[in-house]
Amino acid sequence: MLYSGEYRRAERAFTSDLRGAIKIGQTRWIDSICSHAMLGETYYQQGRTEEALYQFDQACSRFLAYPNWMTRVKFQQAPRADAGLRRRGSPWGPSSRQVTYAALPDTFLVSRGRIDNSQQANTGGVVQAAQFW
């Protein structure tokens, strides 16, 4: 919808995605990063720059709030190099680092919460038991 110029429909779709995103208390989790970014792009394409900037800031805030989320992923098997896909170069130019693309499963478990919630129970905050999603 976004790339075909149907901005109102894209706006409704990304807003709907945000409503369905995972929340911990009142805070959104990492699954809302792409919806915020795409909603920001939708606003930007419409010339609504202030709203776009807000959405981009929200996407960046989610990313920075969970910097180690990938270390909490439980892979059923270790990620392996994906030799079967042909890749185009990135639009901003070639990387100076060696890049290896991985073959990842469509779904995997991510741990959320804490094993020890005593600090949150004593000082306040969200108490969330450790679990895999």
pLDDT in tens, the chain (133 residues): 988 999 999 999 999 999 998 887 778 888 899 999 999 999 999 999 999 999 999 999 999 988 888 787 887 877 788 877 666 666 677 778 887 778 777 887 877 767 677 777 778 777 777 777 7
Please report the pLDDT score of residue 129 as a whole number.
72
CA distance 113 to 128: 5
CA distance 43 to 57: 13
Please report the pLDDT score of residue 92 as a whole number.
75
Q: Say what the pTM is.
A: 0.67
CA distance 65 to 6: 32
